[in-house]
Structure 1
Amino acid sequence: MASKLLDRLRRTLFKEGEVVARESIDVPEDSFPESSELEDDTECLSERLGGTLCFDGERAMESEDPGGASGPDSDSDFLGESVEDGFSSTDTSPVGLSPGGSSLLTCQLQESWRSLQSCSVPEKLVFEVTDASVVPESSSKYVLYTIHVIQSGMFDKTPAVITRRYTDFERLHSRLRRRHGDHMERVCFPRKRLRKNFVAETIAKRSRAFEQYLAHMHSLAELRRSATFLEFFYLGDLQAGQMLMRVGRYQEGLGPLLNGLRLQEKLGCEQQGIQQPHHQQRTHWLFTLLALVTCFQELEQLGEAQEYCDRALRDLAPSQEALQQHLFHPLLIPLLQTNVRLSWKISKDKRRWEVLLQEIQDSGADVGNQPSLKEYLMKENLVESEGNTKAKVKRDDTT
């Protein structure tokens, strides 16, 4: 019986295969996508931008008039060098297909991802321009690029978003060259053209150029850890959140603060702050957590406030040796007091933090005359001058 069923199934599949083959021959040749579109999809460098800003390298080059800029600093040359040097955003995906083309089993993928996470390899990120729009500004206009920052190799449920214009990228490039000149020698940047800066083809090419530019920067350890590169992503959100908090608009402040936190998480600012306790990124990381504590507390969302308070305390909790020597963060006491009050209100166990607060008090520290978290957040200066930064780095190197 089984052999008859198999024989019947084989004949049915064979007949269907013939039908499919005959039908495929009759398909007109014009219905196939162009080779350039297929190559663009294979590279996965960007999606179609609103249906009009798709990148087509050959057509874009052919459409340029003789007067257009085509020197070594043009967009097309930047793209060519980036691809040749292997800095495409998809070239370094930690998990992919086997050479034979067959995908790994789910358990193998998970095991491979866990093994990569356990190594000291930085998180691979994809920088994807999802929108580019021309924005009028008084007598001029500019292009605003929306860029999603996504963790590669896994489904990212919380992609972070930044919006930047050309001058923002230009300023970043100038600062990186000034502060990290040795690592920027082979990095090209797409300069502005005299004409056609706002046509769809130029915007699409520049969108892909910025994707590859950010991926290139992130692939270099020295630049990936630099304050200039990191703050390009998240500092604007922290400043916006602080400004909204100062005028009492806590609900509106949550948006940029949460986005800033996601950006810092993806860029590894938390780990960098742990490795370098005096680094500016640690200050920004703690500011973000405490700002979220304050906003949620003001909005009576006490569970969320206590969650971020607990998270900040895990970073600030001192060792017994540091506690005996009074070497702990100046915000530790007000943070402990806030967490104890929040935990009591939401009926959450607070004994661990009460014990730590009592130990600090028994050591002789003044726990009664402390500034509130809100006072600290309102006064905190998020941007250090370059002179102060150099002095701080020199001081940290000597300690």
Structure 2
Amino acid sequence: MASKLLDRLRRTLFKEGEHPADADEDADGTDDFPESSELEDDTDYVSAKLGGTLSFEGDAVLDSEDAGEASGQDSDSDFFGESLDNPCSSTDISPTSPTLKGSNMLTRQLQESWRSLRPRCVSEKLIFEVTDANVVQEMSSKYVLYTIHVIRSGTFDKTPGVITRRYTDFERLHGRLRRRHGDEMEGVYFPRKKLRRNFAAETIAKRSRAFEQYLGHLHSLPELRAAPIFLEFFYLGDLRAGQMLLRVGRYQEAVGALLNALRLQEKLGCQQLLQQQPLQKAHWLFTLAALVSCFQDLEQPIEAQENCDRALQDLAPSPEALKQQPPPPQLHPLLVPLLQANVRLSWKISKDKRRWEALLQDIQELGVDLGSQLILKECLIKENLEDSEGDAKSKSKGEEHA
């Protein structure tokens, strides 16, 4: 900006004839806009600095040692490469700022830059990152267990969703998707099994990268991104584990599994699919209702009430819509138990409960016997958590722990 102002002043003075020496400079072919070359150098500098994969560990941002590993579809380098092509990104990041010079860029400064960029030119996507891979020996069975973090890009994601899967889990997902979405799966590559060296470090590393790209490719395709089979691959195991832990009274462990399931559902956009996919709505409401029940038993009424409110926002009908239904109304089985729980919780934490009391009164006036309704925990224990293929098996991490 300063160089542009100086150049504009120089042009004005030259027109007035006060500095004829400038004419010699123009005659020598000097660029009228010397700052343009500086901007080009700055762009190269940003490209060099943002090459490789950025890792948000500690206070500093570290470059990946192997830039080639960051050349995949869902790597951070691709994300920044796209932003550099966007006219609003190279200048907004301010590459010439003193805070970005040198070998390190502070995570906090990157966060601030991302917050300022996000509303205008940063699009969010999911990154699937294999953070660990362990060889597991169980009796006569031996396999590699991959730990995968599901991270939302475009912001500093402090709470990634975490899953652990083995090769056969990915293979089962691939087979189900091919049966249900054959056309969309035409160009999707899946890493094949090897006859030898399946547990070699090199094989595990290559397969880890292949699984990252595989999940990223699936998520990039709109039809597959919203497919129930794809979504359930991430969260349904934790949901079933949470239910089993709730059944045996291990509420703190259940909360951990349920919160991870909720984070995964949020990142995958399940809440936006509630109207189109009844099964996704059932899973979403079960997650929130189970958290309500667990937090109640853990004597954490504030957390319980917050999740209860959130569930009722997606479940409770308006008084007008309720009165339009012919009696007896078709109410969701969790509606009355959640309303009753919310009234009690709101009273306990001194929060306004009149809206929920009025809704319960409207439901009672329609002929529903509120006293005969199951309590929330009973509804959750009896729930069959089916997947999109009708499988309601209950085997989960919760059963293994019980």
TM over 0.5: yes
- Which one scores higher on RCO, CA 8 angstroms, separation ≥ 6? 1
Q: Which residue of 2 aligns with 1:218?
A: 219
Q: How far did 1:386 drift?
A: 2.9
Q: How far did 1:263 drift?
A: 0.4
Separation in 2 of the partners of 1:263 and 1:308?
A: 16
Where does the alignment leave 5 or more consecutive residues of structure 2 unmatched?
A: 1-47, 58-64, 95-110, 393-402
- Check conservation: 2:127, 2:153, Cα contact below 8 A: yes
CA-based RMSD: 3.3
1:345–1:158 distance in 2 versus 1, CA, 3 Å: same
- Check conservation: 1:89, 1:127, Cα contact below 8 A: no
- Check conservation: 2:288, 2:307, Cα contact below 8 A: yes
TM-score normalised to structure 1 length: 0.71
Letter in 2 for 1:96: S
Q: How far did 1:146 drift?
A: 0.6
SS in 2 for 1:126: strand
Separation in 2 of the partners of 1:93 and 1:353?
A: 47
Q: Which residue of 2 aligns with 1:189?
A: 190
- Check conservation: 1:94, 1:124, Cα contact below 8 A: no
Q: How far did 1:44 drift?
A: 2.9
Letter in 1 for 2:118: W
SS in 2 for 1:323: helix
Map Cα deviations across residues 223-260 of structure 1 (whole Å, 9 max, x no partner).
11111100000000011111111111111111111100
Q: Which residue of 1 aligns with 2:307?
A: 308
Q: Which residue of 2 aligns with 1:147?
A: 148
Map Cα deviations across residues 313-353 of structure 1 (whole Å, 9 max, x no partner).
11112133420113542321111111001111121111111
- Superposed, 1:93-112 pairs within 5 Å as 96-97=83-84, 101-104=90-93, 109-110=114-115, 112=117
Map Cα deviations across residues 173-200 of structure 1 (whole Å, 9 max, x no partner).
1111111000111111111111111111
- Check conservation: 2:52, 2:67, Cα contact below 8 A: no
Q: Which residue of 2 aligns with 1:357?
A: 360
SS in 1 for 2:198: coil
Separation in 2 of the partners of 1:321 and 1:227?
A: 32
Q: How far did 1:115 drift?
A: 5.0
1:116–1:369 distance in 2 versus 1, CA, 3 Å: farther
SS in 2 for 1:206: helix
- Give % identity: 67
Within the candidate set 366, 376, 393, 1:373 is matched to: 376
Runs of 4 or more, structure 1, over 2 Å off, are: 41-48, 54-58, 86-117, 319-322, 326-330, 362-366, 384-389
Q: How far did 1:360 drift?
A: 1.8
Separation in 1 of the partners of 2:227 and 2:75?
A: 21
Letter in 2 for 1:170: E
Where does the alignment leave 5 or more consecutive residues of structure 1 unmatched?
A: 1-38, 49-53, 59-78, 390-399
Map Cα deviations across residues 11-35 of structure 1 (whole Å, 9 max, x no partner).
xxxxxxxxxxxxxxxxxxxxxxxxx
Q: Which residue of 1 aligns with 2:297?
A: 298
Q: Which residue of 2 aligns with 1:247?
A: 248
Separation in 1 of the partners of 2:253 and 2:239?
A: 12
Separation in 2 of the partners of 1:179 and 1:45?
A: 36
Q: How far did 1:287 drift?
A: 0.4
Number of aligned residue pairs = 317
TM-score normalised to structure 2 length: 0.71
Q: How far did 1:302 drift?
A: 1.2
1:115–1:380 distance in 2 versus 1, CA, 3 Å: farther
Letter in 1 for 2:139: S
Rg larger in structure: 2
SS in 2 for 1:257: helix
- Superposed, 1:8-27 pairs within 5 Å as none
Letter in 2 for 1:141: K
- Check conservation: 1:126, 1:151, Cα contact below 8 A: yes
With 103-112 and 221-230 compared, the bigger mean Cα shift is at 103-112
- Check conservation: 2:229, 2:388, Cα contact below 8 A: no
Q: Which residue of 2 aligns with 1:17?
A: none
Letter in 1 for 2:199: F
Q: How far did 1:90 drift?
A: 5.5
Q: How far did 1:379 drift?
A: 1.0
Map Cα deviations across residues 253-283 of structure 1 (whole Å, 9 max, x no partner).
111111001000100111111x32x521110
SS in 2 for 1:253: helix
Is structure 2 residue 191 aligned with structure 1 residue 204?
no
